[in-house]
Amino acid sequence: MIDEIDLVAMVADHADLGQLCDRLEDVADALPRMPSAGANLRLCHELEYRPATHEAREHALVKRLFGTGTTEPCGAAALQHIRHRSGSHVVQAQDLVTAFQAGDPCLPPSTLGYMLRCFFEGCRASMAFEELTILQLAGDRLTPRARILLEHSLEARCRT
């Protein structure tokens, strides 16, 4: 069985990543004006930390919940997609840190805006996909409280 306690860390990570995505969307909306030096430093720290931490925790959770894979081809493909997408978010976050730290005036605001939007839109979609995949693959293994936790989190992901 998969209980609520098994999913709380992932849901908390998703809430934190969702807040980071909201802040990055605000930055994209304010371009060409860049955030203050202090806000820029905080964003860089979060971009270095949150996606990589989430990726590590997510891999451990998926392995704990579903083992090394599932015998169902569709389920195996979904789990592989989750692994690939979380890795790509880490790389995108690193690219954003480089862009923020460089303060390169040669990088047009439209390019930075595109990079930001690719990150936060992709990250939001991936979080929803992860939760949907767990709901689908875990099925009857989810306790009622675990299912409610995932459903509420998914609802929050899809409101944005």
Q: What is the pLDDT of residues 50-67, one digit of tens each?
A: 999 999 999 999 999 988
pTM metric for this prediction: 0.91
Q: 109-138 and 37-66 helices cross at what angle (nearest 10)?
A: 20
pLDDT classification of 70: cutoffs 50, 70, 90: low
DSSP string for residues in 52-71: HHHHHHHHHHHHHHHTT--S
Which of the four pLDDT bands, split at 50, 70 and 90, describes residue 157? confident
Please report, as a single letter, which amino acid is at residue 128. A
Q: How confident is the model at residue 104 (pLDDT cuts 50, 70, 90)?
A: low
Number of domains in the chain: 1
Domain containing 118 equals: 4-159
The answer on pLDDT for 103 being more than 70 is no
Q: Angle at CA 61, nearest 5°, toward 75 and 92?
A: 85
Q: What is the pLDDT of residue 138?
A: 93
